[in-house]
Amino acid sequence: MKKGSGKNLLISLITVGIIVAAWFIVTSTGSVSELFIPKPSSVWKAFINAVNDGYKGSTLFKHLGTSLQRLMIAYLICVVTAVPLGLLSGYNSRIRAVLEPIIEFYRPLPPLAYYTILTLWMGIDESSKLALLYLAGFAPIYISCVAGVVRIKEDYINGAKTLGANKRQIFFYVIFPAALTDVFTGLRTALGVEYTTLVAAEMVAATAGIGWMVLDASKYLRSDVVFMGVIIMGITGILLDQLIRLIERKVIHWKGRS
C-alpha cells in the first residue's frame, strides 16, 4: 500500500459519510418534497422491492445484468480494435492521417445525435445499442493510445535500433510497454464514457436494463426508484473502474517504481 493511501481512504469514507448524513438530515426535516429527494428509507425499500418483486416484470439483477452484458460486449470489442489501431496510428503517421478525421468528427457529437442514424441503419434491436456504446468507447481508447506512442522519447527507439532491433521488435518491446500507462488511462476513460452512454442506448425499444429502469421510473415520478438505480449504477461503475486499476497494477508492475 502506498504511503498516505490509508489516510486518503479515510478522507473518502468521511466525505461519503457526510453526504449520507446530510441526506438523512435534509429529508427528515420535511423541508424538501420526496418527489425531489426521497428519504434513504424509501430508496432502501425500493431496492428491496426491486430485488424481491422486480420492476416491470424483471428483477433488479436482471436489469443490471442486461446492462452490463451490453456494456461488456461493446467494451471488449473496443479494446480489441481501438488499442491496436491507436498504437499503430501513433507509430505510423499515414494510418493516423486516415483515422483521425473520422474520429475527431464524431467524437464531440452527443450520443443521441448519431443514435438516430444508427437506429435507421441497424434497427431498434441490440445491434444499434451495441454500436452506440462501441462508438462512445472507441475514441477515448484510440486517442490515449496514440498519445502514449507519440510521447515516447526518440532515444528509446534509437537505442533499440542501435542494438539491432527490427521494427517488429521495437513495437512490441519498446513502444507497447512504454505506452501501457496511457493505454490503461484510455481504458478507464472509455468505460466511464460507455457507462454514461448506456442510458441513451436503452432509451429506444428496451424492456430491461438499469438505465431503462431509471428512465421508466422518471416518467412516473418514482424518485425512489430513480435514486436507487443511480446509486447502483454509481457503485457498479466504481467497482468496474477498480477492476481495471487492479489489472493495471498487475500488468504495469513497474509503475511508480524508481
**Which 8-state DSSP code applies to residue 171?**
I
Structural domains in the chain (count): 1
114 belongs to a structural domain = yes
122 belongs to a structural domain = yes
Inform me whether the pLDDT recorded for 207 exceeds 90: no
Inform me whether the pLDDT recorded for 3 exceeds 60: no
> What is the pLDDT confidence band of residue 175, given thresholds at 50, 70 and 90?
confident
Range among 31-35, 52-56, 168-172, 189-193 rated most confident: 189-193
Inform me whether the pLDDT recorded for 91 exceeds 90: no
Maximum CA pair distance of the chain?
A: 75
Which tens digits make up the pLDDT trace of 216-228?
998 888 999 999 9
37 belongs to a structural domain = no
Q: pTM of the prediction?
A: 0.84
Cα–Cα distance, 25 to 43 (Å, whole number): 15
Q: Given this model, what pLDDT does residue 141 score?
A: 95
Read off the pLDDT of each residue in 147-168 and give the average, rounded to a whole number. 83
179 belongs to a structural domain = yes
CATH number of the domain that 168 lies in?
A: 1.10.3720.10
Inform me whether the pLDDT recorded for 257 exceeds 60: no
Q: Given this model, what pLDDT does residue 5 score?
A: 67
Q: Given this model, what pLDDT does residue 258 score?
A: 44
Could you tell me the residue range of the domain that residue 224 belongs to?
Answer: 57-251
> What is the pLDDT confidence band of residue 251, given thresholds at 50, 70 and 90?
confident
Cα–Cα distance list, 196 to 65, 73, 88 (Å): 16, 16, 28
Rounded mean pLDDT of the chain?
87
51 belongs to a structural domain = no
Read off the pLDDT of each residue in 1-19 and give the average, rounded to a whole number. 79
Read off the pLDDT of each residue in 227-235 and give the average, rounded to a whole number. 91
74 belongs to a structural domain = yes
Read off the pLDDT of each residue in 154-178 and give the average, rounded to a whole number. 82
202 belongs to a structural domain = yes
81 belongs to a structural domain = yes
Measured on CA atoms in the order 149, 152, 154, 156, is the torsion positive or negative? negative
Q: Given this model, what pLDDT does residue 224 score?
A: 92
By percentage, how much of the chain surpasses pLDDT 90?
41
SS3 assignment, position 58 = strand
Q: Given this model, what pLDDT does residue 45 score?
A: 94
Q: Given this model, what pLDDT does residue 146 score?
A: 93
Contacts of 31 (CB under 8 A, 6+ apart): none
Contacts of 165 (CB under 8 A, 6+ apart): 173, 174
